[in-house]
Each structure stands twice: as structure tokens, then as C-alpha cells.
């Protein structure tokens, strides 16, 4: 399987992020990440809906 960090590794990663970006910048980064993920999901859902509409057979 792949590498999955344990509890102590997550703490080290979090500490490095705080040192690099500062505690005040982290909420801003997470907000941007969340909006990016939301936009990606919305785009994926809209293409799925368009595909579903295009796949329905038309009446003869």
C-alpha cells in the first residue's frame, strides 16, 4: 500500500505549515482550498447532469 502518515507525522506536518505560512495565513489558505474543491465538485456535477440529459433517448 501507499504511505499514510501517522499521528506524529501529522503533527510535524502541521508544525511546518504553521512555521512556513504563519497562524494568521492558514485560515485564508484553507478557505481558498475549500472554494477550489467546491468549484471542482460543481463543475464535475454539472458535466454529469449534461451527460445524463444527452444520454436519454428521444421519442420516435
Q: What is the tens place of the pLDDT at every residue in 9-58? A: 989 998 998 898 888 888 998 899 999 999 999 998 887 676 666 666 66
Predicted structure pTM score: 0.51
- As a whole number of angstroms, the distance between CA 48 and CA 40 comes to 12
Of 51 and 60, the structure prediction assigns the larger pLDDT to 51
Q: What are the structural domain ranges in the chain?
A: 23-50
- As a whole number of angstroms, the distance between CA 56 and CA 60 comes to 12
| pLDDT bucket at 59, cuts 50 / 70 / 90 | low
Amino acid at each position: 500500500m501507499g504511505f499514510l502518515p501517522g499521528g506524529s507525522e501529522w503533527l510535524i506536518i502541521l508544525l511546518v505549515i504553521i512555521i512556513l505560512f504563519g497562524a494568521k495565513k492558514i485560515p485564508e489558505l484553507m478557505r481558498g482550498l475549500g472554494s477550489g474543491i467546491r468549484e471542482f465538485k460543481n463543475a464535475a456535477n454539472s458535466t454529469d447532469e449534461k451527460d445524463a440529459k444527452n444520454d436519454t433517448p428521444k421519442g420516435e
